[in-house]
Chains A and B, each alone.
Chain A
Amino acid sequence: MAWPLFLLVATPIVAGLGSLLVRERRAVEVLQCAQVGAMLASAALVAERVIVSGSVSVGIFLQADALSAWLDLIIGIVGSTGTLYAVGYVGEEMDRGHLSFRRYRQFFCLFDLYLGAMLIAVNLENVAIMWIAIEGSTLSAALLIGFERSKAALEAGWKYVILSSVGIALALFGTILVYYSSEHVLGVSSEALRWSQLYRVAEGLDPTAIKVAFIFVLIGYGTKAGVAPMHTWLPDAHAEAPTPVSAMLSANMLTLAVYAILRFKAVTDRTVGPEFTGKLLIGLALLSLGVAAIFFLVQRDYKRLFAYSSIEHIGIALLGFGLGGLGTFAGAWQLMNHALAKSTAFYGAGLVFLRHNHKLLDRVTGLLSQMPLAGAAILVAGVALAGMPPFGLFTSEVLIAVRAYTARPEIAYVFLALLALAFATLLYQVFRMAFGAPGEAGAALGRQCRLFTGAAVGVNVVVLGTIGLQVPPGLETLLAAIVKMFSAGMEAP
């Protein structure tokens, strides 16, 4: 019963290459919709198998445990709605004559390969091949960010490709160091790169080598996760990329980078205890929160506003993982809810951009009456992202604050102060955008665009609302397994 896992990683690759070959727009749309169905179903089946039996594997490379299944669900759900949204959004661009069919096909090919690379990365059993897949997602994202080829888009793309290449190179050095220390225990072979083997022998690895390796990995993948002070590419890339891509960057790619850090954290904690990684993660997390809270205040561009909100939320999740225990539970919960809420926010923002063709925050008002769909998406997502009930981010932020208060009260004070600042700014801007009298009229959106983007927003909001009220039992099992995975190092002295 391993075929869902295979289907999950193969679907986007097949759909992407298929989109490049077909000659009709209708065929691309059909392929993309088929991909959405297959991806959702297989992600759910993989998660179900993992909940029942702990892990699923295909061949020697593909293996999904609880943490992988968690990421499969996030990327599967948000990737599906993102694909639906892209069909609406990019289709509208083409209807308006901004895009030739050749470029339309290219977009979907890159978009699907990007999703595929991320799905492969989270289901790999091998540390170094995971690096290759993550680098693959970086490269496809680089072309997607500069896709519109305006000066601003090229600048953002260049910044991204250079910074993330450096980051990923440092992460590879960290990976090599892990191999350097593990091959003495496991021998010169692929075994020395398998997560399960690394966890098993972690206690016998050289502590200094593992510490140095973790620092390289943290800086490297931290750059990709947009952790301050390596975040400088993030607002530019999120603002200038085509909006479906912005949504995927924020919801999936940042989450994927956090996943990579977590995998190494699990090894490092078993070798040197959780203190070391905890301190590093908490420090970077608070710095990210601070940077985001300050830059929130000066934003004039609504996509940049949401981009800084991503830095904030990834920071909060890392704070949770850094604190450990209940914090790990809250951190994982934060990642899923943030992915859903932030992609919804970008879906709304993209519709506003299609209508008005600018990204200026203070010229957008009265969305609820002018564009009910975009207005509702931004309002719901904004309330969720600010951390208000009844959404999951409220739960995770409260849990992290509680965990911080019991462990180190001063962290809780700083955390809550920064959270309050971000809360006030974000809600103010979102309410201003959603309510009031509408400004300029702008260009109306086509029927097909409204249909597909409406479906994407609808699915996201329904899932976000449902899991916000109560953690579903199946997900609870997964979360418990993730917490257990990170508590192994906690018992060590």
Chain B
Amino acid sequence: MSLLSPQIGSQMVDLGSALLLLTCFAIVAQRRLSACVDLFALQSVFLALTAALVAFLTGIYHIYAAAALTVVIKVVVIPRILKQVIERLNVTRELVMNVNVPAGLLICGALVMLAFFITQPIIPLGFLLTRDSLAIALAIVLIGFFTMIARKKAVTQVIGFLVMENGLFLAATAAAYGMPLIVELGVFFDVLVGALIIGIYTHRLQDAFDSVDTTKLTILKE
């Protein structure tokens, strides 16, 4: 705390959160599947840095553990699994989307405003150092959600889900100074298992439908 004044610290946390948000927009604009995975890994790096910064500024040491776990799981393990899945597929790019890129970016801009609007009344509750991050975290959650709707390929839907998780983690770390360690561990375990299971499903979809285009899943209808 003594090295940095709270003002500079708070601005650095804001900077980290803003970089996370920026990578979200890059993911929305990116059509190549493997580039989307790389961008997700980059976003996770920013997340780990932001978390480590919060840990350093507040002296709450278990946040370091969460940051380290982020690096291991979200920067190394999950991107590797996703790359393996992509290698097996017959597509590398997403040509047709439910929402095209310019419209998607505009919608994401609107989602950011919505996030600030929702969190406006509760932001003053937060700690001075990190409270603006709550709005950005919600924006990332919403953009992740939007990515899942806008994209048709199973892999990009998974990335959307993982982006949502990153937003949640930012909310927990930055806005609430991290959940207790046991909670963080449990959440990480669930995310890892969830990503594995979705990966397994993607493999099976590819085998059964010869495609990971989820618009081809049309057997079950009313």
A residues contacting B by CB (< 8 A) are: 126, 128-129, 131-132, 135-136, 139, 142-143, 146, 149-152, 154-159, 161-162, 165-166, 169-170, 172-173, 176-177, 179-181, 183-184, 188-190, 193, 206, 208-209, 212, 235-236, 239-240, 295, 298
The residue in chain A whose Cβ has the minimal distance to the Cβ of B188 is A132
Stretch of B12-20, B78-86, B96-104, B176-184 that contacts chain A: B176-184
Q: Which residues of A contact B72 (CB under 8 A)?
A: none
Tell me, yes or no, whether B122 is within 8 Å of chain A by CB.
Answer: yes
**Given A169-B141, A190-B180, A240-B220; A177-B122 close (CB under 8 Å):** yes
Within 8 A of A (CB), among B158-194: 161, 164-165, 167-168, 171-172, 175-177, 179-180, 182-183, 186-187, 189-190, 193-194
B32 touches A (CB below 8 Å): no
Chain B's closest residue to A299 (CB) is B222
Q: Give the chain B neighbours of A183 by CB distance below 8 A.
A: 176-177
Q: Are B197 and A158 in contact (CB under 8 A)?
A: no
The residues of B with any CB-CB pair to A shorter than 8 Å are: 60, 118-119, 121-122, 125-126, 134, 138, 141, 144-145, 148, 154, 157, 161, 164-165, 167-168, 171-172, 175-177, 179-180, 182-183, 186-187, 189-190, 193-194, 197-198, 200-201, 204-205, 208-209, 214, 217, 219-220, 222
| CB of B10 to closest CB in A, whole Å | 17
In the complex, A289→B134 CA distance in Å?
Answer: 36
Q: Which residues of B have CB within 8 Å of A169?
A: 141, 144, 161, 164-165, 168
Q: Can you list 8 residue pairs at the A/B interface with Cβ under 8 Å? A: A132-B183, A143-B200, A155-B219, A166-B161, A173-B141, A173-B171, A179-B172, A180-B171
**A367, B122: Cα distance in complex, Å:** 59
Task: A212 to B121: give the CA distance in the assembly, Å.
Answer: 10
Query: Could you tell me if A179 and B179 are in contact, using CB atoms closer than 8 angstroms?
Result: yes
Q: Is the CB of A206 within 8 A of B197?
A: no
Are A172 and B205 touching (Cβ within 8 A)? no
Residues of B within 8 A of A176 (CB): 168, 171-172, 175-176, 179
**A157 and B201 contact, Cβ closer than 8 Å, known pairs A151-B209, A166-B145, A209-B125:** yes
For the complex, give the distance between the alpha carbons of A263 and B195 in Å: 28
Report Cα–Cα, A208/B190, bound state, in Å: 29
Known: A146-B204, A161-B197, A166-B148. A132 touches B168 (CB 8 A): no
Across the interface, which residues of A come within 8 angstroms of B197, CB to CB? 139, 142-143, 161
A180 touches B204 (CB 8 A): no
Among the listed B118, B145, B148, B219, which residue makes an inter-chain contact with A152, where contact means beta carbons less than 8 Å apart?
Answer: B219
**B121 nearest in chain A by CB position:** A208
Given the known inter-chain contacts A157-B201, A180-B175, A298-B222, please indicate yes or no for A166 contacting B164, CB distance below 8 A.
yes
Distance of A189 Cα from B176 Cα, bound (Å) = 11
Contact B187 A172 (CB under 8 A): yes
Docked Cα-Cα span, A143 to B200, in Å, equals: 9
* Chain A minimum-CB-distance residue to B220: A236
Question: Are A152 and B220 closer than 8 Å at their CB atoms?
Answer: yes
A188 touches B164 (CB 8 A): no
Docked Cα-Cα span, A176 to B167, in Å, equals 11
Whole-angstrom CA separation of A162 from B156 in the bound complex: 12
A35 to nearest B CB, angstroms? 23
Interfacial chain A residues near B220, Cβ < 8 Å: 152, 155-156, 159, 235-236, 239-240
Complex: A212 Cα to B134 Cα, angstroms = 13
Scoring A132, A172, A183 by chain B CB atoms within 10 A of each residue's CB, the highest score goes to A172
> Is there contact, CB below 8 Å, between B208 and A132?
no
Who on chain A is nearest to B214 by CB? A158
Given contacts A149-B204, A161-B201, A162-B161, contact A179 B190 (CB under 8 A): no
Measured between C-beta atoms, what is the minimum distance from B154 to chain A in Å?
Answer: 7
A190 to B180 Cα, complex, angstroms: 6
B177 & A129 in contact (Cβ 8 Å cutoff) = no
Chain A residues, CB < 8 A from B138: 173
Closest partner residue, chain B, to A127 (CB atom): B183
A132 neighbours in B (Cβ, 8 Å)? 183, 186-187, 189-190
Which residues of chain A come closer than 8 Å to B180, judged between CB atoms?
128, 189-190, 193
- In the complex, what residues of B have CB within 8 A of residue A295's CB? 222
| A176, A181, A193, A206 interface centre (most CB from chain B within 10 Å) | A176
Best-buried of B121, B179, B180 by chain A (most CB within 10 Å): B179
- Of all chain B residues, the one with the shortest Cβ separation from A236 is B220
Are A180 and B126 CB-contacts (below 8 A) given A129-B183, A173-B168? yes
- Partner among A129, A161, A173, A180 whose Cβ is within 8 Å of the Cβ of B182: A129
Rounded to whole angstroms, the CA-CA distance of A298 and B200 in the bound complex is 34
Q: Closest residue to B173 on the A side, CB-wise?
A: A176
Q: What residues of B have a CB within 8 angstroms of the CB of A143 in the complex?
A: 197, 200
Inter-subunit contact A184/B204 (CB<8 Å): no
B171 touches A154 (CB 8 A): no
**Which of A129, A139, A154, A190 lies in contact with B205, CB distance below 8 A?**
A154
A146–B141 Cα distance when bound, in Å, is 27
Give the distance to chain A from B116, nearest Cβ to Cβ, in Å: 13
Contact residues in B for A131 (Cβ distance below 8 Å): 187
- When the two chains form the complex, which single residue of A126, A128, A206 contacts B122, counting CB atoms closer than 8 Å? A206
Among B154, B165, B189, which residue has its beta carbon within 8 angstroms of that of A158? B154
A472 to B101 alpha-carbon distance, docked (Å)? 61
Give the Cβ gap from B179 to chain A, nearest Cβ, in Å.
6
| Known contacts A154-B208, A172-B168, A176-B179: A181-B125 contact under CB 8 Å | yes
Besides A169-B144, A176-B168, A188-B60, 10 more A-B contacts (Cβ < 8 Å) are: A129-B186, A154-B201, A177-B122, A179-B176, A180-B125, A181-B122, A190-B182, A193-B183, A212-B119, A298-B222
> Is A212 a contact partner of B122 (Cβ separation < 8 A)?
yes
Most chain A Cβ neighbours within 10 Å, of B157, B171, B197: B197
Q: Shortest Cβ distance from B119 into chain A, in angstroms?
A: 8
**Complex contact A158–B175 (CB within 8 A):** no
- Interface-central residue, A139, A146, A179, A240, by most chain B CB under 10 Å: A179
Assess the B183–A128 pair: CB atoms within 8 A. yes
Q: Write out the residue numbers on chain A whose beta carbons fall within 8 Å of the beta carbon of B60.
A: 188
CB distance from A38 to the nearest CB of B (A): 25
Chain B residue nearest to A181 (CB atoms) is B125
The answer to whether B148 and A128 have CB atoms under 8 Å apart is: no
Contacts of B208 in A (CB 8 A): 149-151, 154
- Return the chain A residue nearest B158 by Cβ: A162
